[in-house]
Structure 1
């Protein structure tokens, strides 16, 4: 809308230009607010400087960041158009797609689901670890496990229930969220990304899976990870995630009850305590979803965290941070994400 307004202003006669001058100047340019705002503007030069310094520290890893003021729509990004592997970040859009089916009456939160051995997925999956001791779950329980605990079995079962990865992507595109794509089940993506054979139930549990993982020659794993990093499947851009979070917050994706439930799950998650949550001020409230690949051969393909933060005082922002191909080590990778949150906090005037 802002870009269209700028183009029209350039072709208008002087009197009309003068009458619209303040509106046009405030709307033109990348990352400008689309509505009048009562919250402070983003300090974009400061954000660019600080995040660029963090990105330099993370090399050869690649950093992508997006920030949006949810009250005004003003946004800023760093590598915002670049695609990054999502890992479990996809479980937030998946959760929204599942709840959209609930809103449509095609699914109920208390619907029972009985798991079979063939539906188990790779770690992380406490549900697979518990099998066959427990097989019966409800849709709600699987949703909490997928979004709140990042359980891969729960995510795959729910995704199959609503039509598969293609159905999730199609739902997002139908909602004008066009830079997030979900292409594979976790039971496909995780083995593919490290050069393993197709997942089998005998690999359930961390110990069994890691034994199978270790049997793959290092050079095979290295080539598989390189292919994964260049693959557009199962990726998102920071600005695409901002669009998703903005639409979720605005109520464009779900009913009020479903939106509230999803954000509660994202707030109560125990994952990623040393990432965005560690970087925002004490007293902030964060509804978020992390995504993490396994560090192997000195490199991690994906250390991510995206969500909606409510700062002390009530100001609210969507934030997306993706770190891909970092060789810093696990603790240092998480500190990169936390430092971005600190930079974002300083970049809000």
Structure 2
């Protein structure tokens, strides 16, 4: 039986698009690389790829990851990739799984790439209005006074990455050029098997079996509209979403992108440091992969949580970079597409992966 804290967590994330924590500091300051003319020339280019150390994945880690994947009651994908070597350990690593708020990571990278290329600065002002609100977790909605709130890209980026604020993320997405800009960034960095969906409103409404109406962004209107649907409609919509997720990504592709990020091959050195620092400050999912990361290790990550239709939960994810005290880093992704098991059982899978990585490293 779960204690009061665990029951409270279940309530807090039930039927939401992401997990969040209201204590995040939004005053993070970033000094981007200076602008350079012409704008198409990067102000600070990513590091050119370097040859990786040839090595074989530890046998005990292979055994542990496969055992964890096989024993889990649900559809899950796992990938562990050593950043400075050429090996990966994966279970169901090539299957496209719903990302949910993990996809905010690609929006953040696209934004910082635009900063690197002199297209944007993190101090650029953005005004959020009622028509910009989304659904599920959006603390930014409370900031609207007299119908609008003016802030800057740095604030929105931090809210999106550390609080998983959907409205903040969609505002950044619009500023960088929309879904096509994100897809273009991933293509230029040669990252395969990561889809990027149409934004929170369309993604979540379709997965629920609804047609989006902006009135759904107000209060609990979305929940009410969804609850009024016949269960058969919701089940079909969720089945269709899981069968072909528009935000689907393979766990192996995610760790490839994370490893390239850590090696400095995705963004400029300044933007790489900034993003990793932001991810280390995330408060979401403390009992997911992070719960099994040993003391003395660092963990920079992004979580995602999809919709539930009891007893089924979808898109329960955590991806990030574990760094040992000696500086060795591992990109890790655990993607649970669909399951009926309890949240503590999902935590056990994720913590089992991080503990296996640490044990193998030792």
TM (norm. structure 2) is: 0.81
Q: Deviations over 1:4-43 (max 9, x none)?
A: xxxxxxxxxxxxxxxxxxxxxxxxxxxxxx6437xx8532
Q: Deviations over 1:70-94 (max 9, x none)?
A: 1223222111111111101111111
Relative to structure 1, is the Cα distance of residues 47 and 62 closer, same or farther in structure 2, using a 3 angstrom cutoff?
farther
Q: Which residue of 2 aligns with 1:118?
A: 131
Q: Which residue of 2 aligns with 1:30?
A: none
TM-fit CA distance, 1:199 = 4.0
The alignment partner of 1:308 has SS state of: strand
From 177, 192, 195, the equivalent of 1:163 is 177
Q: Find the aligned partners of 2:218 and 2:65 in 1 and give their Cα distance.
A: 39
Q: Which residue of 2 aligns with 1:337?
A: 350
2:332 is the counterpart of 1:315: no
Matches within 5 A, 1:241-260: 241-260=254-273
CA contact (8 A) 1:191 1:199 kept: no
Q: Find the aligned partners of 2:145 and 2:72 in 1 and give their Cα distance.
A: 42
CA contact (8 A) 2:215 2:221 kept: no
The gaps in structure 2 that reach 5 residues or longer are: 1-50
CA contact (8 A) 1:182 1:233 kept: yes
CA contact (8 A) 1:67 1:242 kept: yes
Q: Which has the higher contact order (CA 8 A, sep 6+)?
A: 2
From 53, 59, 81, the equivalent of 1:36 is 53
Q: Find the aligned partners of 1:234 and 1:261 in 2 and give their Cα distance.
A: 25
TM-fit CA distance, 1:312 = 2.8
Q: Which residue of 2 aligns with 1:4?
A: none
Query: Which has the larger share of helix?
Result: 1
Q: Which residue of 1 aligns with 2:252?
A: 239
TM-fit CA distance, 1:197 = 2.5
The alignment partner of 2:317 has SS state of: strand
2:149 is the counterpart of 1:140: no
Matches within 5 A, 1:1-349: 35-36=52-53, 42-44=57-59, 46-59=60-73, 61-132=74-145, 135-205=149-219, 207-348=220-361
The alignment partner of 1:347 has SS state of: helix
CA contact (8 A) 1:62 1:324 kept: yes
Query: How many residues are treated as equivalent by the alignment?
Result: 311
Relative to structure 1, is the Cα distance of residues 132 and 82 closer, same or farther in structure 2, using a 3 angstrom cutoff?
same
What's the Cα RMSD here?
1.9
Q: Find the aligned partners of 1:115 and 1:162 in 2 and give their Cα distance.
A: 15
Q: Find the aligned partners of 2:52 and 2:66 in 1 and give their Cα distance.
A: 28
TM-fit CA distance, 1:57 = 3.2
TM (norm. structure 1) is: 0.84
CA contact (8 A) 1:42 1:347 kept: no
